[in-house]
Amino acid sequence: MENIFEEVILIEDSEIDVFINTKVIELMQITEHIVSLPSGEVALEYLSNSQKKFDKPYLIFLDIRMPKMDGFEFLESFQALPERIKQKIRIVMLSSTIDTIDLEKANANPFVLGFIPKPLTRDKIANLKLM
């Protein structure tokens, strides 16, 4: 699992959760770069302007309820990104929702690798089939 990701992107508006998630990801040592972005909009801009080489895959932890553009709206726009970016990105939804509609929507989305109920823990990351 060591540094298997080029970068882990947290799309998350809660500062405390960014702090927690960063800590847990650091403990897992799955990447050397952690970026946190406060909304879906900012994340889209970040991804589309990215000039980086996509050697190793990127992992996104995507929150659902966020101001302006929520997680699902982000996923809709994500679809329009160039294939070379999309194919290197793994998305995991991370939320405290217990709305079954949210869970169904997340599971039905082809870009979503899995759903993690908050809080993020090492076990929950380890249980994902990330690659």
Partner 1 sequence: MMKQGLLCLIHIGDDRRLHLKAEALREELSEDVNTIWMTVSQLSLFDFSDIVPFIICIISNSKIEWQNEVNLLKSKFPHFILGIYSDDITSIQAFATGCQFVLNPEDKLGRQFLWQIVTSKHLNHENQILENQRLEKSLTEIQLKNKELEKINFELDRFVYSASHDLRSPLTSVLGLLYLLRMQLIDAESIKYTNLMEESILKLDNTIKDIVTYSRNNRTDIIREKVKVKSLIKDLVDNLKYLEPSGTSLNEAIVFKGINIINADKNRLQTILNNLISNSIRYRQTSRQLKIQIKTEITDENLVLSVEDNGIGIKEQHIDRIFDMFYRTNDSSTGSGLGLYIVKETINKLGGNIQVNSTINEGTTFIVSFPLEN
Is 96 an interacting residue with respect to partner 1 (CB under 8 A)?
yes
Q: Kindly determine how many residues on this chain lie close enough to bind partner 1 according to the rule CB under 8 A.
A: 19
Q: How far is the CB of 96 from partner 1 (least distance, A)?
A: 4
The smaller minimum CB distance to partner 1, of residues 24 and 130, is found at 24
Contact indicator for 36, 42 with CB cutoff of 8 Å: no
Helices (H), ranges, the chain: 15-28, 40-48, 71-78, 83-86, 100-108, 122-126
C-alpha to C-alpha distances, 70 to 20, 65, 94, nearest whole angstrom: 20, 5, 12
Q: How far is the CB of 11 from partner 1 (least distance, A)?
A: 15
Is 128 an interacting residue with respect to partner 1 (CB under 8 A)?
no
Q: Quote the distance between the C-alpha of residue 129 and its chain's center.
A: 14
The binder of partner 1 chosen from 4, 85, 86, 97 (CB under 8 A): 97
| Dihedral (CA of 32, 37, 42, 43) sign | positive
Q: How far is the CB of 52 from partner 1 (least distance, A)?
A: 29
| CA 50/CA 85 separation, integer angstroms | 9
Phi and psi, residue 108, nearest 5°: -80, -15
Is 125 an interacting residue with respect to partner 1 (CB under 8 A)?
no
Q: How far is the CB of 109 from partner 1 (least distance, A)?
A: 19
The smaller minimum CB distance to partner 1, of residues 87 and 100, is found at 100
Footprint of partner 1 (CB under 8 A): 14, 16-17, 20-21, 23-24, 27, 65, 96-100, 117-121
